A and B are shown apart, each in its own frame.
Chain A
Amino acid sequence: AQSVTQPDIHITVSEGASLELRCNYSYGATPYLFWYVQSPGQGLQLLLKYFSGDTLVQGIKGFEAEFKRSQSSFNLRKPSVHWSDAAEYFCAVGPPGGQNFVFGPGTRLSVLP
């Protein structure tokens, strides 16, 4: 069965510091991969997605993610965190062409001034 793990439940970083959020997945083939952000009391917004091709993908708000097939990982990075990045981040996988998406449990990011 497909699954997504996000090992870090809660991460705290200082404003201006770099950030890496981890995501590992279990899937029979290479799935489509996504990162979403959820601000408090809000819905989910897509940060970036990977379908194929270049394994380093750029997203909105200065985020990027790297797909590593050998590690079944899709880690999210940002070189310099802003206070407005405080939110919950979800990694998700989906079958190519399908609709049965699986989300990870989420990582809550706190940003210190």
Chain B
Amino acid sequence: EAQVTQNPRYLITVTGKKLTVTCSQNMNHEYMSWYRQDPGLGLRQIYYSMNVEVTDKGDVPEGYKVSRKEKRNFPLILESPSPNQTSLYFCASRGIPIGEQFFGPGTRLTVL
């Protein structure tokens, strides 16, 4: 089954404790993205990647890092999380030429 998986689905952590949210897709897609969803703001793009070792900032990259060492994986790293990063995070992927983005199930992160 074609899918995007994210882990963990729920995470509660404390300020400053480094964390990684994993994202993996099994569709051999070139493009992958991370979004955060906040009430009234919709989804905002954090980072995206157009291929292995090629990443770029989205609209809200501050406080986040990403890496794309393998085509299928695109982890999101918060090296020093803060409460304003409490949000619902989605990973997405799509292939070439442009088509629909496939979204993961989301990761709800709470930073205390």
Binding site for B on A (CB under 8 A): 4, 6, 9, 32, 34, 42-46, 49, 51, 90, 92, 94, 96-97, 99-106
Contacts and interface: CB of A to CB of B under 8 A. Distances in A.
Interface stretch (B15-23, B35-43, B62-70, B79-87): B35-43
The 10 closest A-B pairs by CB, nearest first: A103-B43, A103-B42, A46-B100, A105-B42, A43-B103, A44-B103, A99-B48, A43-B105, A99-B31, A106-B42
A99 B104 CA distance: 17
B90 A43 contact: yes
B12 interface: no
16 contacts: A6-B42, A9-B40, A42-B105, A43-B103, A49-B99, A51-B98, A90-B42, A90-B43, A94-B98, A96-B98, A97-B97, A99-B49, A100-B59, A102-B45, A104-B42, A106-B40
Contacts of B59: 100, 102
Contacts of B43: 44, 90, 92, 103
Interface of B: 31, 33, 35, 40-45, 48-50, 56, 58-59, 90, 92, 97-101, 103-106
A21 to B, nearest CB: 13
A103 B59 CA distance: 11
B33 to A, nearest CB: 6
A32 B56 CA distance: 20
Given A34-B100, A44-B103, A101 B40 contact: no
Contact of A100 (B42, B58, B92, B97): B58
Nearest to A101: B45
Nearest to A9: B40
B8 to A, nearest CB: 15
A102 B101 CA distance: 12
Given A43-B90, A44-B90, A101 B101 contact: yes
A94 B45 CA distance: 11
